[in-house]
Amino acid sequence: MSAILSLITSSLLAYVDPGTGSFIAQMLIAGFLGFLFMIRSWLYRIWSKLRGKPVTSQDD
């Protein structure tokens, strides 16, 4: 694995400082958690409709 990464990164001349790297990681984590929240709210709405309960807009 490290051999493959060294082959890929040997031709790169770009530098990513720690601030940019942590910002990218933060955006990826936030996007993933937002996606999970969206899926949860969709599943809650579907489950509520199947059970016949009215859907409240607490998650919106």
pLDDT digits (tens, 9 = 90+) for 1-53: 666 666 665 555 667 788 888 999 999 999 999 999 999 999 999 998 888 87
Rounded to two decimals, the pTM is 0.56
For the chain, which residues make up each domain, given as ranges?
16-60
Q: From 34, 31, 17, select the one nearest 42 (Cα to Cα).
A: 34
Are the beta carbons of 29 and 23 closer than 8 angstroms?
no
Cα 15 from Cα 23, distance rounded (Å): 14
